[in-house]
Amino acid sequence: MKVLVDVSAGRSIADLLRSLGNDTSFVRDSDILSWAVTEGRVVVTMDKDFGELIFRSGQPLAGVLLLRLEAARTPEKLRIVTDIFSAHESDLPGHFSVYQNGRLRIR
């Protein structure tokens, strides 16, 4: 899968997804959503503003995985992302997904 990992999610998640065989870029680009659509990449982020950006702007969506893991330490984040990609990788493209409190919602 092609993935853009937003700086808010952290380089360790980008490194993990790359090690799992995903075509992964780690970015700090303010125009990340356009880049994701152009290249067909799912955005992985911890920035809650992405939901508002997408739904208010009406921009096309290649896929977003919003991780609500503010209090989690890196090992826990890596385990959760591994579990999500193992079980739901084919479900993420084209959807806005939110992981919070042990639950993944895919819209």
| Number of folded domains that form the chain | 1
For residues 83-87, give the mean pLDDT.
97
**Rounded Cα–Cα distance for residues 6 and 94 (Å):** 17
Q: What is the pTM of this model?
A: 0.91
CATH number at residue 41: 3.40.50
Domain that holds residue 9: 2-106
For tokens 């680009």, the residue is: 29
Mind listing the pLDDT tens digit for each residue in 22-69? 999 999 877 888 889 999 999 999 998 877 877 777 777 899 999 999
